[in-house]
């Protein structure tokens, strides 16, 4: 495994690989502080691709003012161990000045998909995501890129961008990984106090309740599911709901009744103290 800091070095390393091999290049972009969720993406890339490229870059562009860019957790040594164990070939770890040598004047924006959920709570967030992912895609030029469905809206935004801009990259969405007790894995879980960590279980529990409800009802409105989820989350005195929304998936459009869609996402963002957690469940509905 090779660790590379400069864009030029990475480009020439990948070009060299392409010249000598006919196999595909798989790419896993991350912000580091890797956990088993990331490891599952890397293992999937290892299984599908000839060359596995991991990027670790905490992208300032996708953090709003007052968000946790400065304190976002970092642990390079542990990240590299995990990457090596997962079979990564190249780790790209650029500095902020390598990625943004001067203030960027160019923005990639995806409309529609970004108006709700985290797009509404975090203005500019998905512009930052789309812009940095398009930069990374241009640098790595992968055949496949692997993204976790915990950020389901991000996956939808990236898929739309790839289609609209003819990036010619296969986006591989990968299932959410959870701790044994159900909490969705996240680099931000490390922020939680012991008590917050315990109460944060209401998130995955509320999604399971919603799932049981969907399975036992032939028809329902998004509002019914949203109430059910919100009410369960409210049983935690520490939870402050940012949003609980039920939308059609992958369009992320509202729908009136479960008869009107085939696939839904139950998505939530909830704060425990200063820590904002997200989780979601994608379900097939109908008949």
Stretch of residues binding a copy of itself (CB under 8 A), selected from 133-141, 194-202, 210-218, 230-238: 133-141
Size of the site for a copy of itself (CB under 8 A): 26
Among 4, 39, 90, 139, binds a copy of itself (CB under 8 A): 139
- Looking at residue 168, what DSSP letter applies? -
**Would you count residue 144 as binding a copy of itself (CB under 8 A)?**
no
Among 66, 97, 106, 287, binds a copy of itself (CB under 8 A): 106
Instruction: Check: CB of residue 113 under 8 Å from CB of residue 157.
Output: yes
**Would you count residue 277 as binding a copy of itself (CB under 8 A)?**
no
Residue in 5, 38, 259, 260 annotated catalytic: 38
User: Restricting to residues 147-176, which ones interact with a copy of itself according to CB under 8 A?
Assistant: 160-161, 164-168
User: Restricting to residues 190-249, which ones interact with a copy of itself according to CB under 8 A?
Assistant: none
Within 13 Å of residue 193, how many CA atoms lie on the same side as its CB? 8
Among 23, 107, 218, 263, binds a copy of itself (CB under 8 A): 107
State the minimum distance, in angstroms, from the CB of residue 273 to a copy of itself.
35
262 is catalytic: no
State the minimum distance, in angstroms, from the CB of residue 255 to a copy of itself.
19
Phi, psi dihedrals of residue 92, rounded to the nearest 5°: -100, 115
Whether residue 1 is annotated as binding a ligand: the answer is no
C-beta closer to a copy of itself: residue 160 or 205: 160
- The encoded tokens of residue 243 equal 């949003």
Cα 66 to Cα 158: distance, rounded to the nearest angstrom = 25
Stretch of residues binding a copy of itself (CB under 8 A), selected from 64-72, 130-138, 186-194, 223-231: 130-138
Q: Helix 152-164 crosses helix 125-140 at what angle (to 10 degrees)? A: 60
Cα 211 to Cα 213: distance, rounded to the nearest angstrom = 5
Closest to 68 measured CA to CA, from 33, 29, 104: 33
Whether residue 26 is annotated as binding a ligand: the answer is no
Residues whose CB is less than 8 angstroms from the CB of residue 243 and which lie 6 or more positions away in sequence, other chains included: 117, 120, 121, 267, 268, 269
- The encoded tokens of residue 143 equal 């055949």
Give the CA radius of gyration of the chain: 19
State the minimum distance, in angstroms, from the CB of residue 110 to a copy of itself.
5
**Would you count residue 131 as binding a copy of itself (CB under 8 A)?**
yes
Cα 114 to Cα 124: distance, rounded to the nearest angstrom = 9
Whether residue 37 is annotated as binding a ligand: the answer is yes
Instruction: Check: CB of residue 122 under 8 Å from CB of residue 149.
Output: no
Residue linked to tokens 């160019």: 106
Residues belonging to the binding site for ATP are 31-38, 148-151, 177, 185-188
Annotated binding site for beta-alanine: 62
| Residues assigned a catalytic role | 38
Under the rule (CB under 8 A), what is the footprint of a copy of itself? 7, 11, 104-113, 130-131, 134-135, 138-139, 141, 160-161, 164-168
């Amino acid at each position: 495994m090779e660790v590379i800091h400069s864009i030029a070095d990475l480009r020439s390393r990948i070009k060299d690989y392409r010249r000598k091999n006919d196999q595909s290049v798989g790419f896993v972009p991350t912000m580091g502080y890797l956990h088993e969720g990331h490891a599952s993406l890397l293992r999937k890339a290892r299984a599908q691709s000839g060359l596995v490229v991991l990027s670790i870059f905490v992208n300032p562009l996708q953090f709003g003012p007052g968000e946790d860019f400065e304190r976002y957790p970092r642990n390079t040594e542990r990240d590299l161990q995990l990457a090596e164990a997962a079979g990564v070939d190249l780790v790209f770890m650029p500095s902020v000045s390598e990625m943004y040598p001067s203030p960027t004047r160019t923005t990639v924006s995806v409309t529609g998909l970004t108006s709700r959920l985290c797009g509404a709570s975090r203005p500019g967030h998905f512009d930052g995501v789309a812009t940095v992912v398009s930069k990374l895609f241009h640098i790595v030029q992968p055949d496949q890129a692997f993204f976790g469905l915990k950020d389901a809206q991000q996956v939808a935004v990236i898929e739309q961008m790839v289609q609209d801009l003819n990036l010619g990259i296969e986006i591989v969405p990968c299932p959410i990984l959870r701790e044994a007790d159900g909490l969705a894995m996240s680099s931000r879980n490390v922020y939680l106090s012991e008590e917050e960590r315990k109460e944060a279980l209401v998130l995955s529990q509320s999604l399971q309740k919603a799932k049981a409800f969907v399975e036992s009802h032939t028809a329902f409105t998004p509002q019914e599911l949203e109430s059910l989820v919100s009410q369960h989350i409210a049983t935690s005195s520490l939870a402050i709901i940012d949003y609980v929304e039920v939308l059609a998936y992958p369009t992320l459009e509202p729908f009136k009744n479960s008869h009107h869609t085939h696939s839904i996402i139950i998505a939530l963002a909830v704060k425990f103290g200063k820590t904002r957690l997200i989780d979601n469940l994608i379900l097939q509905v109908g008949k």
